[in-house]
Amino acid sequence: MFSTLLNKPINNAFLRNFQLVQFFDLGSAWNGNYGGLSRPTVEISSDDPNLAGGSLNVKLRAGGIGPFAGGYGFGARSTLLGYFLRFDAGWQMNTFFGGKPVLAVSMGVDF
């Protein structure tokens, strides 16, 4: 980003390699059979005698499209002391920037 904005050589590796990115992830999970392809879910059950029916079942599906779980977000990338650093903020693909983002910091030697 800084290499594009500044029209002169940049000696600092962090500034020279700095990138702003947007990302989109889509994936799936299944139990081995094609018919078992479905979006991941979490089921929460409560057997509370105070409830009218005696129990409560809630099924939460991961954000995504059809059987695919997905997410999107923005991030910053650069190098520091020879390591590639990433900072990302991502949201589940069930609402448009709904709720708090999931923040992630990662370090590696390659993208």
Give the global pTM.
0.62
HEC-encoded secondary structure of the chain: CHHHHCCCCCCCHHHHCCEEEEEEEEECCCCCCHHHCCCCEEEEEECCCCCCCCCEEEEEECCEECCEEEEEEEEEEEEECCEEEEEEEEEECCCCCCCCCEEEEEEECCC
pLDDT one-digit tens code per residue, 2-54: 777 777 788 888 888 889 999 988 877 665 666 666 666 777 777 666 656 66
pLDDT at 108: 82
Tell me the pLDDT of the chain averaged across its residues: 78
Q: How many domains does the chain have?
A: 1
What is the residue range of 77's domain? Answer: 2-108
pLDDT one-digit tens code per residue, 84-102: 999 999 988 877 777 889 8
What torsion do the CA atoms of 95, 99, 105, 108 make, to the nearest 10 degrees? -10
